[in-house]
A and B are shown apart, each in its own frame.
Chain A
Amino acid sequence: QKEVEQDPGPLSVPEGAIVSLNCTYSNSAFQYFMWYRQYSRKGPELLMYTYSSGNKEDGRFTAQVDKSSKYISLFIRDSQPSDSATYLCAMNRRIQGAQKLVFGQGTRLTINP
């Protein structure tokens, strides 16, 4: 079983829809939770950074963490074609004394005009 599970999609929705992206994890040692957006042939860009259960909002993006269920989500409101990208969840914990990110597989999202 992978430490972090993420449905790779692809996910295709019409412009303006609310998008829900999710990851589950198995290790309660994860301390920080992040969402990255990666456009084709580009490096990942940090979108959201959270460390506690609950919701965090930034513009059209809301990150949700439920540590009791080991489940995190990213919601995108009023989705735009420019939101089309691969979204990667990532979690941070100590592995052999060093802080390391563990990534989900990434979900490919397409917003159709």
Chain B
Amino acid sequence: GAVVSQHPSWVICKSGTSVKIECRSLDFQATTMFWYRQFPKQSLMLMATSNEGSKATYEQGVEKDKFLINHASLTLSTLTVTSAHPEDSSFYICSARGLAGGKDTQYFGPGTRLTVL
């Protein structure tokens, strides 16, 4: 299946610092990338959708100034959590949509666990 990578897989930071998470589609070009957040034992919550070269579309209730998304190319998107606080601690998962293996669907990265102290 298609491969989506995320880096880092795990990060711990101090409150007030910013953290950048990278998401790459390794073997296909992603027309759209998505960022999700997942709390323990809960389903994925869509935070924002981004198309290459354009501004991200944020879901209701997600602060665009806090969660900065850059989609610079068809294979790379970044999520920056600015001025992180303990309540931002969560599992962040990116997803890339594109045509891979004949299927137009979404493939997910392995996730990034963020812990803010």
A joins B in a complex: yes
> Which among B49, B97, B103, B109 is the interface contact of A43 at CB below 8 angstroms?
B109
CB-defined interface of B50-80 with A at 8 Å, one 1/0 digit per residue? 0000000100000000000000000000000
Do B105 and A46 have beta carbons less than 8 Å apart? yes
Decide: A36 near B46, CB < 8 A? Known: A41-B113, A99-B32: no
Q: What is the number of residues of chain A that contact chain B, defined by CB distance less than 8 Å?
A: 21
Do B105 and A41 have beta carbons less than 8 Å apart? no
Distance in angstroms between the alpha carbons of A104 and B41 in the assembled complex:
13
Do A46 and B91 have beta carbons less than 8 Å apart? no
Residues of A within 8 A of B113 (CB): 41
Distance in angstroms between the alpha carbons of A6 and B106 in the assembled complex:
20
Which of B34, B44, B95 has the largest number of chain A CB atoms within 10 A?
B44
CB-defined interface of B66-102 with A at 8 Å, one 1/0 digit per residue? 0000000000000000000000000101010100000
Q: Which residue of A lies closest to B91 (CB)?
A: A41
Interface of A toward B, CB cutoff 8 Å: 32, 34, 36, 41-46, 49, 88, 92, 98-101, 103-106, 108
